[in-house]
Amino acid sequence: MTAGEQVKTTYREAMRAAIREALQRDDRVFLMGEDVGRYGGCFAVSLGLLEEFGPERIRDTPLSESAFVGAGIGAAMAGMRPIVEIMTVNFSLLALDQIINNAATLLHMSGGQCNVPLVIRMTTGAGRQVAAQHSHSLEGWYTHIPGIKILAPATLEDARGMLWTALQDPDPVLIFEHGGLYNMQGMLAADAGPVEIRSAAIRREGTDVSLITYGGTLGKTLSAADQLAADGISAEVIDLRSLRPLDDATIMASVGRTHRAVIVDEGWRTGSLSAEVSARITEQAFYDLDAPVERVCSAEVPMPYPRHLEEAALPQAEGIMAAARRAVG
C-alpha cells in the first residue's frame, strides 16, 4: 500500500490495529483483562491477538477487576507498559480503589519518584439494549480525579492513534470507547498512526452556535448540525477528545466566534462533565455569550432495557437541534 492510501475499516478494527502496533513496537507492552485472549474480547477488539502474540502478552484474567487492575499497576511500576481492558465502565467501579487511591496518587505519594505508565481501556455508553449494569456513561466521574488523563476517541483516526500516544505517557491514561461505535465503518489511511491526545478538534465549522460533545454523541451532533444548516443555522461542532485535561482554549475560541453554546453529554445532567464545561464557559467567556449555555444529557434514570425507552433516555439529534434553536433564538 502507498502512503496516504485509504482503506475501509471499522472502529473495532482500528482499535485492534492500534493494540497490534503497540505490541510489535515495544516488548514491554501486553494486554490483560477478562476474555481478551481465547474469546477474542467481549467486543471482539482483541480477536486473533492471542494466536499472534501468545499468552504471555495477551493475558486472560480472573473475574476480579480490582485484582487485575492492581496487577497492571504493579507491572507498570516495574517497568512494563500494560494495557488493561475492563469490559464496561460499570464494572470499573469494582476497581475504583486501585484506580483512584493507587494509580492516580502514587506519583504524588512517592514524592515524584514513582510513575504509573498504565493504560486502561473500557467500553462506555448505551444504545445497545444491554440495560442498566452495562450502559452508563461514567467517564465524567473520572474527570474529577487529579493524576489521570481521560480520553474519548470518537473517530476512526482517534481509535487507531490514541493508544500508542497514551502508552508513552508516564502517568495513567483511561480510554473510554463507546460501545455504539465499534461497528462504525469508514475510510482510514493505511499508514495511520499515533495522534496527539491533548487538544479538542473542530469537526465542523460554524458561526451561529457551538455544539460541544465527545465520544458516542459526536455522530448525533454532526447529524443535528446538518439538519440545522438546512434551517439556516450554522453550527460549529467541537469534539472534546480529551476529557481531562480539557482543551479550554479551543472551547472558548469557538464560543467567542459563535456567542452561543450547547453541550451534548451522554452522562446524567447532575454533576456531569457538561456541568464542568458549562461552568468553565461561564468563568472564561461569559461576556462573549448572547444566550444561556444549553445542555443535552441523558434522562436521570437507570438506563432502560426496552429500545423505545432507551432511545427516549438518551440524547438524540432532535433534542440537540431544539437546544440549538433555543440558544439562537
**Active-site position among 65, 177, 236, 276:** 65
**Active-site position among 13, 21, 85, 134:** 134
Q: Quote the CA–CA distance of 209 and 191 in Å, as a whole number.
A: 35
For 152, the 3-state DSSP assignment is: coil
* Contact by Cβ (8 Å): 301, 209: no
Residue 300 C-alpha cell reads as 436521570
Residue 19 C-alpha cell reads as 493494540
Angle subtended by helix axes 156-167 and 11-25, to nearest 10 = 30
**What's the length of the chain?**
329
**What does DSSP say about strands 6-10 and 185-189: parallel, antiparallel, or unpaired?**
antiparallel
Task: Classify residue 113 by burial, with Cβ atoms within 10 Å: 0-12, 13-18, 19+.
Answer: exposed
Report the alpha-carbon angle 202-203-204, nearest 5: 95
Q: Quote the CA–CA distance of 120 and 292 in Å, as a whole number.
A: 36
* Contact by Cβ (8 Å): 39, 58: no
| Beta strands in 76-141, from DSSP E residues, in sequence order | 81-88, 119-124
Concatenate the DSSP letters of all residues of 185-201 into one string.
EEEEETT------SS-E
Q: Is 196 a catalytic residue?
A: no
Q: Is 236 a catalytic residue?
A: no
Would you name the residues annotated as active-site residues? 65, 134
